[in-house]
Amino acid sequence: MADENEQAVQAALAGELRLLDPEVRASPARVLELLDPEFAEIGASGRRWDVESILTVTSAGTVSSESPVNVGDMTGVVLAPGIVHLTYSADHQGRRSWRSSLWRLTETGWRMYFHQGTPTD
């Protein structure tokens, strides 16, 4: 069971890091592979996002020129079979936030179901 949990956490961590990659974010098809159809986000700005609004931003091409997000203290825990909760700190161009996301296992693999960013000093 511990090995299964570790594999689940590692799969979610890998997906999270892919979603933070500017090259992946610049490709709506690649982003769509990682987002659950029921995806929702509450951004650090307070804005609420869904799959459609995220794809609108990524397809605009503005994300591809972004600098990478620096990540620290990323940890994950299996909440239930097929559900992983990740938390980490992020720094993007001097804007720091705490981030939390839920990943769930679907028929097509691990996908981000929910994400929230909270600004911090």
Extents of the domains making up the chain: 2-119
Proportion of the chain above pLDDT 70, given as a percent: 93
Residues 44 and 10: their CA atoms lie apart, in Å, by 25
Residues 20 and 14: their CA atoms lie apart, in Å, by 10
Residues 58 and 55: their CA atoms lie apart, in Å, by 5
pLDDT of residue 64: 44
**Mean pLDDT, the chain, whole residue set:** 90
How many Cβ atoms sit within 10 Å of the Cβ of residue 23? 11
**Does pTM surpass 0.95?**
no
- Class at the top of the CATH hierarchy for domain 2-119: alpha beta
